[in-house]
A and B are shown apart, each in its own frame.
Chain A
Amino acid sequence: MRSQADRDVCTNGAILDLWHPVVPASEIEVGIVRQVVLLGQAVSYSSTAPGVYLAWRTDPAIPAGTVFMPSAVTENLPVLHRYGYLWTSLGDPSQSLFEIPEYDEPDRRNIHAATIGVYCSAPRAVENFLDLGHFPYVHTGVLGIEPHTEVVEYDVHVDPKNNELWATNCHFFQPMAAATSTTGKMVGYDFRVPHPYCSLLYKTSPLDSSRMDAIGLFVRSVAPDYIEASMFLSLLDDSSSDSFIRQFQQLIFAQDKPILENQNPKLLPLDPRAETPVRSDKLAIAYRRWLSDLGVTYGVIPKT
């Protein structure tokens, strides 16, 4: 993995004091030590029994791949097991992790699709997840198709209860599976940003138009310009296999990857004069301002 240069180590309190995703719980082996890099620091984790997890700042005396001895760990990091992932914090997580009410509904399928490494910053990945205009060009024939490229007006607001950023009433033309430009329909989307490096989108379920399917992007920032992004779904889908759903999500994300890796600068500029937004970028503009207001400095170029 990447070397932990000094500049990669996060000192930004606004980010350190949050919960961050470490690894999907399904990939944790009982009794074996494993390690990842989070915000420029090595973090080790393991499990003493199914569902019981521990995490700590990596100690060279407890290398990855060895048998786990709980007594060897002197200071644990706080951990959470939520939505199928292990979460931890390198600071003081006074706020609880954001809620996803859909997860606990009995008829839901909750799926971890994949964790993929990308050479980009977490905010760039989140901002792309919040964007509709690229569907016909990046997800051609799947989520969008020319000439149906218009992004109609939508609404943006910040929820005063928990300071989460929302876009509602978004619509975009989605081609039918046959991917011809003449058959398709307008699909409704809502977007939610409950965390600087996590986002969820809600799409009307094809099985029940009164309920929404949720797709989440949970990003572990390894360095300011390198991430490991996990894709999560909470669906009402009955018929497709887990494998099919996973591959579809991986397809979508892998289509975004070359765009994210070809964006410069890598860190998201928060100064409104750094790039050229248009009306359809209302949510992106709000996201950048929201990050500024939160005092985020890791993974971004702050306003001067």
Chain B
Amino acid sequence: MIKLFDYILSVNCYKQRLIMSILDVPFESVPVDFYPGREHKSEEFKKINPLGHIPVIDDDGFMLRDAHAILIYLASKYDPTGLWYPIGSPEFLGETAQWMLFAEGTTNTASAARLHVNLGYDFDIESCRSGAHQLFRVLEEHLWFREQEDLDWVCSSEHPTVADIAIFPDVILSEEGGISRLDYPAIRRWTDRVKRIPRFTVMPGIFPAGDAR
């Protein structure tokens, strides 16, 4: 069974819990005392990941770190449809990579602001916030135009990809960092759609959407 080195309030760990729930992949959550224990920075943990970060997975001996790398691995290995990480199509694959890199941006802005507020991390919160708004404006326009073409996800495929999973948690928890989503109606509709993906699961701070009509 896959072991996930996990922390309940980490968005990057949540991305793995989310994809594994959607793909119905059983896993064992190994809690890491991220806060206040700072266990991820301990000598013991650095044997698992020398960079001292979570998440890390151990799939029957195969170890992998870095949230987006893990998403790619899990989707490639456990998605029989091949749509979550669409290696079959160079265009979709390119888009997926592009938007996963966009998610690095939202992590460094929106999620950083959240960590600053929640756990006192030392980040320049104002620049995190304005950075997040700049990215959200781009995402808003992008998703609005997707809707104009009857498409529901960040990539132009008809099926969601790991790019949606990568961006979603940073966006949905943005208000914890003081970043309001009042100006982004298309993003808010997209978050409802993500929540309605079958076997979607929450993390603390997220409420499930009701059923679609």
A and B from one complex: yes
Q: Is the CB of A243 within 8 A of B39?
A: yes
Chain B residue numbers with a CB within 8 Å of A246 are: 33, 36-37
Chain B residue numbers with a CB within 8 Å of A115 are: 36, 120
Interface size on B, residues (CB 8 A): 21
Interface members, chain A 236-270 (any B CB < 8 Å): 242-244, 246-247, 250-255, 257-258, 261-262
> Are A247 and B119 also in contact (CB < 8 A) when A27-B36, A112-B36 are?
no
Chain A residue numbers with a CB within 8 Å of B205 are: 254-255, 257-258
Interface members, chain B 110-133 (any A CB < 8 Å): 117-120
User: Which of B9, B32, B33, B204 has the most chain A CB atoms closer than 10 A to its own CB?
Assistant: B204
Check A114 for interface membership: any CB of B closer than 8 A.
yes
Query: What CA separation (Å) do A53 and B205 show in the bound complex?
Result: 35
Query: What CA separation (Å) do A24 and B175 show in the bound complex?
Result: 27
The minimal Cβ–Cβ distance linking A281 to chain B, given in whole angstroms, is 22
Check B8 for interface membership: any CB of A closer than 8 A.
yes
A247: which of B7, B118, B120, B176 is its contact (CB, 8 Å)? B7
Chain A residue numbers with a CB within 8 Å of B39 are: 243
Check B94 for interface membership: any CB of A closer than 8 A.
no
> Are A247 and B8 also in contact (CB < 8 A) when A116-B118, A255-B205, A258-B207 are?
yes
Q: Is the CB of B120 within 8 A of A254?
A: no
Consensus secondary structure, chain A interface: helix
Q: Is the CB of A261 within 8 A of B33?
A: no
Consensus secondary structure, chain B interface: loop
Check B178 for interface membership: any CB of A closer than 8 A.
yes
Chain B residue numbers with a CB within 8 Å of A243 are: 31-33, 37, 39
The minimal Cβ–Cβ distance linking B144 to chain A, given in whole angstroms, is 25
Query: What CA separation (Å) do A242 and B39 show in the bound complex?
Result: 12
Q: Is the CB of A255 within 8 A of B204?
A: yes
Check B62 for interface membership: any CB of A closer than 8 A.
no
Q: Is the CB of B33 within 8 A of A242?
A: yes
Residues of A within 8 A of B (CB): 24, 26-27, 112, 114-119, 228, 242-244, 246-247, 250-255, 257-258, 261-262
The minimal Cβ–Cβ distance linking A37 to chain B, given in whole angstroms, is 12
Interface members, chain B 165-189 (any A CB < 8 Å): 175-176, 178
Q: Is the CB of B36 within 8 A of A26?
A: yes
Additional A-B contact list (20), CB under 8 Å, known A258-B176, A258-B207: A26-B36, A114-B35, A115-B36, A116-B118, A117-B119, A117-B120, A118-B117, A242-B33, A243-B33, A243-B37, A246-B37, A247-B31, A250-B35, A251-B204, A254-B9, A254-B205, A255-B205, A257-B118, A257-B176, A258-B175
Chain A residue numbers with a CB within 8 Å of B8 are: 247, 250-251, 254
User: Which of A112, A246, A247 has the most chain B CB atoms closer than 10 A to its own CB?
Assistant: A247
Interface members, chain B 25-39 (any A CB < 8 Å): 31-33, 35-37, 39
The minimal Cβ–Cβ distance linking B127 to chain A, given in whole angstroms, is 15
Which of chain A's residues has its CB closest to B34's CB? A247
Q: Is the CB of A119 within 8 A of B9?
A: no
Q: Is the CB of B31 within 8 A of A119?
A: no
The minimal Cβ–Cβ distance linking A160 to chain B, given in whole angstroms, is 38
The minimal Cβ–Cβ distance linking B181 to chain A, given in whole angstroms, is 12
12 contacts between A and B (CB under 8 A): A114-B119, A115-B120, A117-B118, A117-B119, A117-B120, A119-B178, A247-B31, A251-B204, A254-B205, A257-B205, A258-B206, A261-B175
